[in-house]
C-alpha cells in the first residue's frame, strides 16, 4: 500500500521547486527529491538541487537522461538563450516535452517507492508560457498515470500530481517560501549563468525572479554579476 506520508518532489534547484519542497515538508510529507541531469547548460542548478536536498534532509536522487540528442531547445543545445525578452510566443528555452518526461520518470520512481504523491513546482501565472506548466496538462498527466501502472491496476496506489504553486504569482511564491524558512540564497534560477555560477540577470528566468523579489519587497540573494576581484 502507498504510504500517505511520503512524497516525491521534482527539484530543479530553482526558486519554484525549492518552495514546492518546503510546502511538501510543511504538509508533513517525508520527501524523496528527484533531479534530472539532462544536459542542461545551466548545470549549476544541479548543485543547487543537491544542497537544497541536503539542507532539507531528503532522500535525493539524480536521474540521467539525454535530452540533447533530440535538440530543439536553447537550454540543451547551441541556440542562444534570449535576453530581456518581452512577452510573446513560447520562447526557445522551451524544452520539448520536458515536464512530460520528468513526470514519466517520477511515475516510475513513485511506483517502485510506493509513493502516490508527486509534487511539481509548475506555475501558470508568472511563467514563460510553457504548455506543460498549465493545470490542464498536469490533470491529464494524472489521469494517464493512473492507467499506466501496475500499482494503479492492482489498486494499491493512486497517483496525485500536486502543484501547490500553480495559481500563485512569483511574489506570492516568494512570500510563501520566506514564511516557510526557504533560504533562496541556496537556489539557482538563471538559464545562462556566468562561468562562476553568477546569474545573468537578463534571461526570462532571472527577470521573473527579480520582478518577484521586487514585488515582494524582499532583497534577492542571487548574485547577478561576477564578484570583481
Interface residues with a second copy (CB under 8 A) are 61, 63-67, 69-72, 89-90, 94-101, 103-105, 107-109, 111-113, 130-132, 134, 136-137, 140-141, 143-145, 147-150, 152-154
Determine the Cα–Cα distance for residues 35 and 30; give it in Å rounded to an integer: 17
CA distances from 70 to 103, 162, 177 (A): 18, 28, 35
Smallest gap from Cβ 17 to a second copy, in A, equals 19
DSSP assignments along 160-194, one per residue: EEE-TTTT--HHHHHHHHHHTT--GGG----SS--
Residue 65 vs 214, nearer CB to a second copy: 65
Residue 35 vs 189, nearer CB to a second copy: 35
Torsion of CA 85, 90, 96, 99, to 10 degrees: 90
Smallest gap from Cβ 181 to a second copy, in A, equals 30
CA distances from 67 to 15, 70, 210 (A): 22, 6, 28
Smallest gap from Cβ 196 to a second copy, in A, equals 30
Smallest gap from Cβ 205 to a second copy, in A, equals 17
Smallest gap from Cβ 76 to a second copy, in A, equals 10
Residue 56 vs 151, nearer CB to a second copy: 151
Residue 60 vs 171, nearer CB to a second copy: 60
Residue 19 vs 138, nearer CB to a second copy: 138
Helix H, strand E, coil C: the string for 29-52 is: CEEEEEEEECCCCCCHHHHHHHHH
Amino acid at each position: 500500500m502507498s504510504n500517505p506520508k511520503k512524497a516525491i518532489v521534482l527539484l530543479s534547484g530553482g526558486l519554484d521547486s525549492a518552495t514546492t519542497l518546503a510546502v511538501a515538508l510543511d504538509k508533513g510529507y517525508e520527501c524523496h527529491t528527484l533531479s534530472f541531469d539532462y544536459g542542461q547548460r545551466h548545470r549549476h542548478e544541479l548543485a543547487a538541487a543537491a544542497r537544497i536536498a541536503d539542507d532539507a534532509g531528503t532522500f535525493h536522487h539524480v536521474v540521467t537522461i539525454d535530452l540533447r540528442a533530440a535538440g530543439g531547445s536553447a537550454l540543451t543545445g547551441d541556440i542562444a538563450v534570449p535576453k530581456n525578452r518581452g512577452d510573446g510566443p513560447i520562447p526557445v528555452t522551451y524544452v520539448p516535452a520536458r515536464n512530460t518526461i520528468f513526470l514519466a520518470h517520477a511515475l516510475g520512481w513513485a511506483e517502485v517507492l510506493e509513493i502516490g504523491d508527486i509534487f511539481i513546482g509548475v506555475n501558470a501565472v508568472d511563467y514563460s508560457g510553457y504548455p506543460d506548466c498549465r493545470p490542464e496538462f498536469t490533470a491529464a498527466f494524472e489521469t494517464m498515470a493512473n492507467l499506466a501502472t501496475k500499482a494503479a491496476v492492482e489498486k494499491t496506489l493512486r497517483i496525485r500530481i500536486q502543484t501547490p504553486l500553480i495559481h500563485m504569482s512569483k511574489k506570492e511564491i516568494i512570500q510563501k517560501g520566506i514564511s516557510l524558512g526557504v533560504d533562496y540564497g541556496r537556489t539557482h534560477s538563471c538559464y545562462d549563468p556566468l562561468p562562476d555560477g553568477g546569474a545573468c540577470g537578463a534571461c526570462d528566468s532571472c527577470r521573473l525572479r527579480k520582478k518577484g523579489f521586487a514585488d515582494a519587497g524582499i532583497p534577492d540573494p542571487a548574485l547577478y554579476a561576477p564578484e570583481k576581484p
